[in-house]
Amino acid sequence: MKRNFKNQTVLIEGLKKGKEDAYVYLVEHYHNQLCIYANSLIRDDLLAEDIVQNVFVQVWEKRNQLKHDFSLENYLYKSVHNKFIDQYRKGKAVMALEKKYIAALELAVEEKDEVQEQKIINILFEAIQELPPKCQQIFLMSKKEGLTNIEISEYLNISKKTVEGQITKAFCILREKLGKKYELIMLLVFGRETKSLL
C-alpha cells in the first residue's frame, strides 16, 4: 500500500526507516524548486544541480537525525544555502590560488622555450596512458571530454563517489610520477579543478 508522504511526519518517519519510496517522494517533490533556488544564488545550472544533489544525499545519509518537530522544507532550503556558502568560499580560495599559479606559470613559461614545454606536456600524457584502465577512462571523460561527475556516473553506471574517487586517484598517481615541477603544466592543461588536487 502506497503511503501518503504529503504529511511531513509520515515522510520523515519513512526517511528515518530508510524507505526508498519516501526518498523518491522527497526528491520528486522538492528537486525543481531547490534547483531554482540554488541557481538564483550561484547563477550556474550545473553547480546548482550539484548542490541540490549533494543536499539530498546528505539528507539520506543523516536521515536518523531528522526530527518530527521541524520544517523539512526549511531544512532543505537552509542546507542548499549552506552548500552555496561553502561553494562561494571555495571559489574565493580558488581565485587567490589562481593569482599565485598564474604568476608562477608566467615565470615558468619565460624560462622554457616551446620545445621544452611540449616535451613536458608529452611526459604528462604518457603518464596518463599508464594510469589503471578504469581510472584513465574516468579521468579522460572528465578532463578531456568535459563531462560532469554525474554524467560519467550515469554513463558508466557507477556512483558519483566512485567517479570522484577515481579522478582524485588519477591526480595522486600523476603527482607521484611527475613530481612538483609538472604541476603548473597540469594546471595549464586541465584547468581550475586541478588546483584543489595538486
* Residue boundaries of the structural domains of the chain: 1-109, 111-190
Grid coordinates representing 111 are: 624560462
Cβ neighbours of residue 168 under 8 Å, at least 6 residues apart?
197
1-109, which class in CATH? mainly alpha
Tell me the C-alpha distance between 164 and 20, whole Å.
24
CA distance 90 to 70: 30
| Predicted pLDDT of residue 99 | 58
Q: What are 58-70's pLDDT values in tens digits? A: 888 888 888 877 7
- The cell numbers describing 126, all together, are 604518457
Q: What pLDDT is attached to residue 194?
A: 45
Distance, in Å, from the CA atom of 83 to the CA atom of 80, rounded to the nearest integer, reads 5
Predicted local confidence at residue 45, as pLDDT:
81
- Name the CATH architecture for the domain at 111-190: Orthogonal Bundle (1.10)
Residues in the chain, pLDDT under 70: 1-3, 88-121, 180-198
